[in-house]
C-alpha cells in the first residue's frame, strides 16, 4: 500500500508499532485472504488491534492515517 510506505518514509507514525516486517506480513495475509475461501485472514491478535481505525490513530503522529471505514471507496 503506497500510502503506508510514504507515511513510513515521512515517519508519520510510530515505526516500532507498525514496522516494515509487520506491515508486509499483515498486508500479505489480507491479500491472501481476499484470494481464498477463508472465513477470516490469518492475522495475529496484534494485527487485529493495529489494523483498525482506532489502532492506526493510536500510532499516528502526523496528519490523518490512511484508513477507510467499511463501505468507503
Do residues 37 and 56 lie in contact, with contact meaning Cβ atoms separated by under 8 Å? no
- The answer to whether residue 6 sits within a structural domain is no
* Average of per-residue pLDDT across 13-40: 94
- Does residue 23 belong to any structural domain of this protein? yes
Distance of CA 9 to the CA centre of its chain: 15
Q: Is pLDDT above 70 for 51?
A: yes
In a domain, 1, yes or no: no
Residue 70 located in a structural domain: no
Residues 60-64 have a mean pLDDT of 89
pTM: 0.77
Burial track 17-48 (b if 16+ CB lie within 10 A, e otherwise) = ebeeebbeebeebbeeeeeeeeeebebeeebe
How much is the pLDDT for 68? Answer: 65
What's the structural domain count of the chain?
Answer: 1
Grid cell for residue 33: 485472504
> How confident is the model over 33-46, as a mean pLDDT?
93
Residue 9 in domain? no
Higher pLDDT, 61 or 2: 61
Structural domain harbouring 55 = 15-59
What CA–CA distance (Å, rounded) separates 54 from 63? 14
Amino acid at each position: 500500500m503506497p500510502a503506508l510506505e510514504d507515511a513510513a518514509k515521512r515517519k508519520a507514525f510510530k515505526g516500532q508499532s507498525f514496522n516494515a516486517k509487520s506491515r508486509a506480513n499483515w498486508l500479505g495475509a489480507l491479500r491472501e485472504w481476499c484470494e481464498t475461501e477463508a472465513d477470516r485472514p490469518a492475522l495475529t491478535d496484534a494485527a487485529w488491534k493495529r489494523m483498525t481505525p482506532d489502532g492506526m490513530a493510536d500510532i499516528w503522529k502526523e496528519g490523518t492515517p490512511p484508513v477507510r471505514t467499511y463501505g468507503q471507496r
